[in-house]
Amino acid sequence: MQLTEDVKDYWNLRSEGFSSSIREEAEFKGAALADKLISDAGLRPGCKVLDIGCGPGLFTMVLSGRGMDVTGIDYSDEMLNRARANARERGIDAEFVKMDACDLDFEDRSFDAIVSRNVLWNLERPADAYSEMLRVLRPGGRLAVYDGNFYLHLFDEDFSRARESRREAWNGKDVKGSHDKYRGDVDFNIIEELAKDLPLSRELRPAWDVKVLQQLPCSDIALRLHRGRGGSEEDGRLVVGFEIIVTKENDHVQ
């Protein structure tokens, strides 16, 4: 659990800058993001949605603004404080709770849908997190996970070279919602060091995710892959980010 606590401490440090980037993203991309989430997760007004690793509350805010009943959870106290402040500023009524994604304190079948972005890679027990998500999701409900191979460059030479290519291509560009833009005085090397001990830093994903999900009660697993845009041929072949849309089995499916 010490690794989990160290990751939490890092995100507490990042909370101010991360919230600024999320607020900018909500301003410029919020409507399109809400449309995407509604489509991916099969949402409609009144749906009970769990936002896992909510951070400063981006998904929670855009979905609450479309009539969803959203609960956001995060393990970082400071991220939750930012989320509550951002929601208050926008007049959004949403619940934010401190909770470990690997050990959810909800009853079985509590939510119509679950959304999560860039959270699994942070976790000490990511397979347990997937198991918990499927447990609290109602039969027929959807899980929409957005994540990536963010630290595979630490262990894979192809990803390392591609990462340098991307850094050169994007250097100096003003990207809306960029986390580098709002890093402040936080040392990003902290998370780089922690990532060396996080299990998913060594795994090629989403192959790992699919293997885990195939052992869980899923009736459908759909993938979208995002490859590098650094300009090099090698970068264009590698999966940098991905989306997994999972439908939980109905009760009659054995």
Nearest to 119 by CA among 234, 18, 187: 18
**pLDDT (0 to 100) of residue 162:** 86
Confidence check: pLDDT of 125 > 80: yes
Structure tokens at 214: 């195939």
At 171, the pLDDT band (50, 70, 90 cuts) reads low
pLDDT above 80 for 197: yes
Q: At residue 130, what is the residue type?
A: Y
Q: What is the pLDDT of residue 214?
A: 97
SS3 content of the chain, % helix, strand, coil (to 5): 45, 20, 35
Domains of the chain from N-terminus onward:
2-248 (3.40.50.150)
In this structure, are residues 16 and 81 in contact, taking their beta carbons and an 8 Å threshold? no
pLDDT digits (tens, 9 = 90+) for 61-74: 999 999 999 999 99
Cβ atoms of residues 133 and 111 within 8 Å: no
d(CA 22, CA 55): 9
Q: For the chain, give the number of residues.
A: 254
Torsion from C-alpha of 18, 19, 21, 27, nearest 10 degrees? 160
- The predicted model gives 68-86 an average pLDDT of 98
Assess whether pLDDT exceeds 50 at residue 177.
no
Report in angstroms the alpha-carbon separations of 42 from 36, 132, 139, 230.
10, 20, 13, 33
What was the pLDDT predicted at 35? 97
